Amino acid sequence: MTCATPLPCRPADFRSDVKPIWCPGCGDYHVLMAFTRAFAEIGVPPERMAVVSGIGCSSRIPAYTRCYGFHGVHGRGLAVAAGLKLARPDLTVVAASGDGDGYSIGGNHFLHACRRNVDFTYIVMDNHIYGMTKGQPSPTTEPDFDTALAPGGTGLRPFHPLVVALASGANFVARTFSGNIGETASIIAEAIRHPGFSFVEILSPCVTFRPDQKGWKDMVRPAPVKATDDPARAARRLMTDDGFVLGVLYRGNRRPYQPLEASRAGDLRTVEGDFEL
């Protein structure tokens, strides 16, 4: 699984031979390209990286990379990623999800992953819909978006993932747009480098069930101000945000979570000792 060329690795070194089966036009193709560019940029070889996911279109991404991968249980990618990072702190761990998997089924894991602040990166490809299971409204679907299951819309206030992440303790909060591939790759790389739990929301259009999202490329715009390390200021900005402001919004300084007995982790004699009755 090492690079095909002498180090540093190229983006192509992180792509598997599996052909993606997303719909043509899906924003996740750009996210995959950004993933491999970001991975090449941070200079960690594929055998030192792990991509973990839950279930859904976006969660297919581990199969399309040549890193270690774990295509997990619906909504539970974060639990696997946190466990993996704590057990193998030498690995660079990236968890991937969609808005349904990450904010609905996995919503509780999201809160506590932010709170724990384990040192890994969480990428959510948000298309405001369940794509794989055929167009049901997700937690980020607009209240008036008409679907067969919710005629006239759900009438529910959409979940605001960035505010939730910030309030729950995420140490890095950013939003980007899949079509801005250069920016997306840079932000993913920065999120990986930033210590603690980094959360990146990527607006990634679903052209099949949300063809209206083709218009996102004209709606997104760069954040008018630089990222802050002040959570109160970041929260004020986010509360007035319309969901299309891009860039790094918050870079925190919280110390990443370390298990209290980290020094014992991996010490087989200690583990054996613990088994003594």
Partner 1 sequence: MTEDAPQPATLADLYAIAYQIEADAVELYQLLADQMEIHNRPELATLFRDLERAEGLHRDDIARRAADPELEARARRVARWRITGSPEGADLASVHYQMSAHEALTLALAGEQRALQFFERLKSTGTDPEIRRFAAELAEEEAEHVALCRRLLQRYPAPDADTDLHDPDPPIQQE
Query: Footprint of partner 1 on this chain (CB under 8 A)?
Result: 5, 8, 10-12, 19-27, 29-30, 33, 40-41, 133-136, 147-149, 179-183, 186, 205, 207-209, 213-214, 217, 222
Contact (CB, 8 A) for 172 and 147: no
Give dist(CA 126, CA 241) in Å, integer: 16
Apex 123 CA angle, 153 and 240, nearest 5: 55
Toward partner 1, which CB reaches closer, 41 or 119?
41
Shortest Å, Cβ 207 to partner 1? 6
Toward partner 1, which CB reaches closer, 29 or 70?
29
Shortest Å, Cβ 18 to partner 1? 10
Residues in a beta bridge with 51: 69, 94
Shortest Å, Cβ 46 to partner 1? 16
Toward partner 1, which CB reaches closer, 16 or 258?
16
Say which residue the tokens 């509780």 belong to: 108
Toward partner 1, which CB reaches closer, 127 or 171?
127
Contact (CB, 8 A) for 144 and 158: no
Shortest Å, Cβ 20 to partner 1? 7
Give dist(CA 64, CA 84) in Å, integer: 20
Give dist(CA 254, CA 169) in Å, integer: 8
